[in-house]
């Protein structure tokens, strides 16, 4: 079996202070390059893991905002959801695999408003798998993904909730 390939990354964010159009173009270029790399690894028969802060909430269930305010047609969300589907890379969101309907499972909150206290956030940190990832590795990744959402972390000094799981 081929050795697994892993991409550990922080995806580009877009803050309210930045020029959204320019930053989204950069963000999409970043994800197009990531997609090319993942396609190369998968073509070589390598199972892949993508782990990190992608700065994308894939679905309304992953955001505290009301569904009417959630822009499901935003290009970064469309890209990620395509990669999670059969017409993309076939990535599997290991958290959603284990918890398909779990709500309020956020990994990022505003530190300005202390939103973590009330769990008013988004799920933008992901563990994604593709290819023939060994079952034990997928199970461990799912456990890591499930460990942190809802602010179940000892660290509260960051806007993100770290996850860890020995592999």
DSSP class of residue 69?
G
Alpha helices in 44-120 (DSSP H): 75-83, 94-98
Asked if the model's pLDDT at residue 79 lies above 80, the reply is yes
pLDDT digits (tens, 9 = 90+) for 37-69: 999 999 999 999 899 999 999 999 999 988 888
Rounded to two decimals, the pTM is: 0.83
Report the pLDDT value the prediction gives residue 167, as an integer from 0 to 100.
45
pLDDT digits (tens, 9 = 90+) for 134-144: 565 556 555 55
> Backbone phi, then psi, for 114, in 5-degree steps?
55, 40
Q: Three-state secondary structure along 18-58?
A: CCHHHHHHHHHHHHHHHHHHHHHHHHCCCCEEEEEECCCCC
Q: What is the mean pLDDT of the chain?
A: 83
Report the pLDDT value the prediction gives residue 58, as an integer from 0 to 100.
95
Beta carbons of 62 and 77 less than 8 angstroms apart: no
Report the pLDDT value the prediction gives residue 63, as an integer from 0 to 100.
94
Report the pLDDT value the prediction gives residue 19, as an integer from 0 to 100.
84
Q: Which percentage of the chain shows pLDDT scores above 90?
A: 48
31 pLDDT tier (thresholds 50, 70, 90): very high
Most confident option among 73-77, 95-99, 161-165: 73-77
Report the pLDDT value the prediction gives residue 165, as an integer from 0 to 100.
42
Report the pLDDT value the prediction gives residue 137, as an integer from 0 to 100.
59
């Amino acid at each position: 079996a081929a050795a697994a390939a892993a991409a550990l990354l922080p995806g580009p964010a877009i803050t309210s202070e930045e020029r959204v159009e320019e930053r989204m173009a950069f963000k999409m270029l970043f994800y197009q390059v990531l997609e090319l790399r993942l396609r190369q690894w998968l073509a070589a028969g390598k199972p892949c893991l993508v782990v990190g802060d992608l700065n994308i909430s894939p679905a309304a269930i992953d955001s505290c905002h009301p569904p009417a305010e959630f822009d499901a047609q935003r290009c970064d969300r469309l890209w990620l959801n395509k990669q999670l589907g059969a017409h993309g890379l076939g990535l599997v969101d290991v958290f959603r695999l284990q918890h398909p309907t779990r709500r309020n499972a956020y990994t990022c909150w505003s530190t300005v408003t202390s939103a973590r206290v009330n769990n008013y956030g988004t799920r933008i940190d992901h563990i994604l798998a593709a290819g023939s990832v060994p079952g034990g590795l997928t199970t461990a990744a799912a456990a890591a993904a499930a460990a942190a959402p809802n602010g179940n972390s000892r660290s509260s000094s960051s806007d993100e909730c770290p996850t860890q799981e020995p592999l």
